[in-house]
Amino acid sequence: MSLQTDSTIDEGAAFELRVLDPQQVKIFRVAGVVRLTLENNRSWTRAQPMRAFPLSNPDQYIGFLDVQNKDIGIITNPALLDAESRKIMEEELEKRYFVPLIRKVLSVKEEFGTVTWKVETDRGQRDIMVRNIRDNLQELSASRIIVTDVDGNRYEFPDISRIDGRSQGIILRNL
């Protein structure tokens, strides 16, 4: 099976994928709402971009959902979008995948079954509260870790080997 640009692939109605031609896609805003139009084809009054592989391949394979969270299609190479469409898509993805990078661990405190990490991030100081640290960690590599707090916010240790020794000691004692 091969994927063809701007086509629909149907494998017995169990799976359907529409690959969108980035040169025929226009993404724009009307009154703050993101819209998507396929040249000479169809428009969606609300379109929400999402990364198919947000951690391993964030800059390719961008899917779009409509207002009912149904698939519109996927763009395999969003770099081929026109400049304005690409800018709007990137702004929306930045909002959706906002993940502060942890630069330093200031303290860790356990109380009443929760663990609160006080950290310094690239977006300022934050308190990260988790119920069980081991269940709220996702190891992406030997040194890269994502922590998800009780509210579903994600924070990233991009490389724990590069943070200061005191912070490393706190992390290792609590992981």
pLDDT recorded at residue 121: 94
For the chain, what percent of residues have pLDDT higher than 70? 90
pLDDT recorded at residue 90: 94
Instruction: Give the phi and the psi of residue 92 in degrees, each rounded to 5.
Output: -70, -40
pLDDT recorded at residue 174: 65
Angle at 56 between CA 127 and CA 142, to 5 degrees: 65
Residue stretches of the chain with pLDDT short of 70: 1-15, 174-175
pLDDT recorded at residue 15: 60
pLDDT recorded at residue 1: 27
